[in-house]
Structure 1
Amino acid sequence: MKTTDPSYELMDDHDGHSLIYREHGFPCHLVRWHNHQEYELHLIVASSGKVFIGDYIGNFGPDSLFLTGPHLPHNWISQLEDDQVVPQRDMLVNFTDQLFESGTQVFSELRRLAPLFERARYGIEFHCRHTIGQAKDLMQSIADSSGMARLGYFLILLELLASSDDYQLLSGSTSAQLGDDNNVDRTNLAVNYIFQHYMRELPLEEVADHLGMKATYFSRFFKQATGRCFVEFVNSLRISKSCELLADGKRPVTDVCFESGFNNLSNFNRRFQQLKGMTPSHYRRLVVQRLTEQNLG
């Protein structure tokens, strides 16, 4: 694809450096369904919302930490009130394969990072609160330093993440299995529209019409681009929303069902069991138990 395609993020500010450090708020022009050749270590500083990585849909909040591999499409969309602005939402470090392909020929210790980079092809979310806390401090050290010191903090950070065993692989598909890059901009438009309207009845034909596409063509295009058919994608987004609502422990399951965009309780229970391997009530009990353990710890 052409690097001028708006869905492809060309990072032309390496300026001879081995990595790029960035911060940005929300809304921001960088927040869109996109891909780039660099790995991306992405720490959420503020706000909560939905994360899309490859064919994965999930929730994020403050101190969520992700690593995505080269060309794996991704996006984080915060759920804010109208006109609300978050001055700093993200801390990011971007780096390329070339850094380590060359480096391992000289520094054999870098080979220990290879399994981490292989996992990153599917996207990784780290869960250990202690690891995330250390990673946040190291990212701040990267932000505050330059030259060899910055590179040193970066390598310590990668070693920390490579040694963590409390993580989740996210996407069932790698970048090589996800559609033509030329379609990512239209995928971005579709995902944004779905995100704005998924909590009501949302027929495929409506989204196709929004993109100016025939329904049959849109259906094939969307499956190729996201790794999920339209109905699966919408249901996954709704189940992700229901998990968010169940976690607060206050709403009855029936209310969670309708607030998530489902209009039928039995369908909601069936889809939840299908995607999460348990009932909504069981999921809520596990979340409450985990939160209690974290507070006691």
Structure 2
Amino acid sequence: MTRATRVTDPSYELMDDHEGLSVIYRQHGFPCPLVRWHFHKEYELHLIVASSGKVFVGDYIGNFYPDSLFLTGPNLPHNWISQVEPGEVVDTRDMLVNFTDQLFESGNQVFTELKSLAPLLERAQYGIEFRDPQTIVDARELMEKIAQANGITRLGYFFILMELLAASDDYQLLCADRPKQQAEEHHLDRTNRAVDYIFAHYARELTLEEVSEHVGMKPTYFSRFFKQATGRSFVEFVNRLRVSKSCELLTDASLPVTDICFESGFSNISNFNRRFQQLKGMTPSDYRRLVGQRQTEKNLY
């Protein structure tokens, strides 16, 4: 039985450790205080090194695995929650590279070559997941070099990395809309507690009234508040989380679709099929066949 570690520290993340550096490298494990629903002014290139779980970027909900690579733009809320065994600790889960718009706004005035990265930075406003395996391998090698380097050498590896990502055409944009105006911290606190509670209980019957009571809000107000904060209504958010879980389970060909339906939190198979079709454009069985075909092609490659 897996669980999600509860996350209660929310907010705007103030990175006060720039120390005059244009590019910041960080890495951390799980659980970790940095794992929470948050946003910051920096872009973030985020590579998952170990564990799997759920990724939340703006109004997007999906799955992550080792070697999942994401780029998020400024002020775009995000969080990665690993599904781990009780008491399990992942020593190194994430490799992160952070940088700000200022690096390119100033650099573009001197180095015209940097303007070629503008489309990549524009896409990052919506969140990007990179899909090409070779791009991810090369990106990890460059991130490791960035971690070990200093000064101009680090900056050089960073620009090579950005050029690599800008050239990749195998990616998925994650959010429907660009991030809205920054939320106030107490709103982020309640959003974080709500998302945390939903993540811990979505596999069973879960009502808006239960979650609103958990965060200390009236149901009607919570409904409006939650949609404004996450870009999705409560029901949409829960259904997307459940469909995301079902996609994860459908990769195991031995699990019956009916069992996956109930394990994902749906109460009946017809509702499961309908919601899955709405969000994925195909039936669960078709999705399973597609995943099997892609895995076969990958193995042949």
TM-score bracket, normalised by the shorter chain, equals over 0.9
The answer for the alignment partner of 2:258 in structure 1 is: 254
Q: Distance in 2 between matches of 1:238 and 1:177?
A: 28
The answer for the alignment partner of 2:72 in structure 1 is: 68
Range that drifts further, 185-194 or 41-50: 185-194
The answer for the alignment partner of 1:19 in structure 2 is: 23
The answer for the alignment partner of 1:131 in structure 2 is: 135
* Structure 2 residue matching 1:52: 3-state secondary structure: strand
The answer for the alignment partner of 1:149 in structure 2 is: 153
Q: Distance in 2 between matches of 1:30 and 1:294?
A: 34
The answer for the alignment partner of 1:96 in structure 2 is: 100
The answer for the alignment partner of 1:286 in structure 2 is: 290
Deviation per CA, 1:100-137, whole angstroms, max 9, x where unpaired?
00000000000000000000000000000000000000
The answer for the alignment partner of 2:209 in structure 1 is: 205
How far apart are residue 171 of structure 1 and its match?
Answer: 0.8
Q: Distance in 2 between matches of 1:17 and 1:157?
A: 17
Range that drifts further, 84-93 or 243-252: 243-252
Q: Distance in 2 between matches of 1:180 and 1:51?
A: 22
The answer for the alignment partner of 1:36 in structure 2 is: 40
Note if contact 2:246-2:264 (Cα within 8 Å) is conserved in structure 1: yes
How far apart are residue 184 of structure 1 and its match?
Answer: 1.5
Q: Distance in 1 between matches of 2:234 and 2:181?
A: 17
Deviation per CA, 1:11-47, whole angstroms, max 9, x where unpaired?
0100010011000000000000000000000000000
What residue identity is the alignment partner of 1:245?
A: L
The answer for the alignment partner of 1:175 in structure 2 is: 179
The answer for the alignment partner of 1:264 in structure 2 is: 268
Deviation per CA, 1:166-198, whole angstroms, max 9, x where unpaired?
000001121126865651221111000000000
* Structure 2 residue matching 1:71: 3-state secondary structure: coil
Note if contact 2:73-2:127 (Cα within 8 Å) is conserved in structure 1: yes
The answer for the alignment partner of 1:220 in structure 2 is: 224
Aligned length, in residue pairs: 293
Q: TM-score, normalised by structure 2?
A: 0.96
Q: Which runs of 5+ in 2 are unaligned?
A: 1-8
Note if contact 2:10-2:192 (Cα within 8 Å) is conserved in structure 1: no
Q: Distance in 2 between matches of 1:93 and 1:122?
A: 18
* Structure 1 residue matching 2:24: 3-state secondary structure: strand
Note if contact 1:178-1:225 (Cα within 8 Å) is conserved in structure 2: no
Q: Which runs of 5+ in 1 are unaligned?
A: none
Q: Distance in 1 between matches of 2:112 and 2:181?
A: 31
Quick one: which of 92, 113, 122 aligns to 1:109?
113
Note if contact 2:10-2:37 (Cα within 8 Å) is conserved in structure 1: no
Note if contact 1:34-1:185 (Cα within 8 Å) is conserved in structure 2: no
How far apart are residue 249 of structure 1 and its match?
Answer: 1.6
What residue identity is the alignment partner of 2:163?
A: E
Report the RMSD for the aligned CA atoms in angstroms. 1.2
What residue identity is the alignment partner of 2:287?
A: Y
Moved beyond 3 Å, runs of 4+? 177-182
Q: TM-score, normalised by structure 1?
A: 0.97
Q: Distance in 2 between matches of 1:186 and 1:38?
A: 23
Note if contact 1:253-1:281 (Cα within 8 Å) is conserved in structure 2: yes
